[in-house]
Homo-oligomer: A and B are copies of this chain.
Amino acid sequence: MKTFDPTDFIPGVSLDCVIFGFDGSRLNVLLLRLRGFDEWALPGGFIKTDEHGDDAALRVLKERTGVSDLFLQQFKTFTHPDRTKVHVQELLRKGIIDENAREYFTSRFISLGYYALTNHNIVKPAPDYLSEECAWHPLDAVPELLYDHRAILEEALEEVRLDLQYHPVGQNLLPKKFTMPELQALYEAILDKELDRRNFSRRVMSYGIVEKLDEHRTGMAHKAPRLYKFKKSAYEKALKDGLSNRW
């Protein structure tokens, strides 16, 4: 593995990714456990000297998940001057960081917060060079996090919920073909609230972003639910221009 070279990156700026994965019933967030730490951390990284922040985030996401087609959104930049102070000394003390990178890591960092939405099942979690574990954690059982990562996570979740009010969600979280109950379960997981099955379906159809297929999901007990798929162009138009109604 290539060692970390601080001169490849712009100093004092990091990015942290809140990666949400939907497993069919719950939202999960992908976390790393650093070597020698009990606390977990958000997957993050740095921006190369000639790299766009969004590209850096995509690079990090690809490295941690193996997935490159996911929904990515920058939502806030965290700039508290002491935001990493609590743990950075511990990081150095434990000798996790190369000698040549000590100065780079010691400085104050501001961090670009991104959130990503992806399908839990297509992700192959891969630790980075600082960590020994990379794993999903359900939102209601998030362990202690390093730095200000808990706050970043909370704000990301709020942001997802807000974005949901105006923009379609599902493209990167569900299989190509999905049932209405599956889509509803996703919305319920994000909003953490139950929705009426019948009103939900009416609303979704009114947006014109999904298309009924002449197929059903069979193999399960009970009535076989119909399959739908997103209408690519309408979905993307709605991503850009927004939806008229809210949840």
> Which residues of A are interface residues toward B (Cβ below 8 A)?
10-13, 47, 49-54, 74, 76-77, 79-81, 108, 110, 112, 162, 166, 246
- B residues in contact with A162, CB < 8 Å: 166
- Does A108 contact B13, Cβ atoms closer than 8 Å? no
Q: Which residue of B lies closest to A10 (CB)?
A: B12
Q: Which residue of B lies closest to A78 (CB)?
A: B53
Taking a contact as CB atoms closer than 8 A, the residue among B10, B49, B81, B112 that contacts A77 in the complex is B112
- B residues in contact with A108, CB < 8 Å: 10, 49-50
- Does A53 contact B246, Cβ atoms closer than 8 Å? no
The 5 closest A-B pairs by CB, nearest first: A53-B79, A77-B77, A50-B81, A10-B12, A52-B79
- B residues in contact with A13, CB < 8 Å: 12-13, 110
Complex Cα spacing A166 to B247, Å = 13
14 A-B pairs with C-beta separation under 8 A? A10-B108, A10-B110, A13-B110, A47-B110, A49-B108, A50-B81, A52-B79, A52-B80, A53-B110, A54-B79, A74-B76, A77-B77, A77-B112, A79-B112
Q: Which residue of B lies closest to A57 (CB)?
A: B79
Complex Cα spacing A54 to B78, Å = 10
Q: Which residue of B lies closest to A112 (CB)?
A: B77
Beyond known contacts A53-B79, A74-B77: 5 more, CB 8 A cutoff: A11-B12, A52-B79, A74-B76, A162-B166, A246-B246
Smallest CB–CB gap between A217 and chain B, Å? 35
Q: Which residue of B lies closest to A49 (CB)?
A: B108
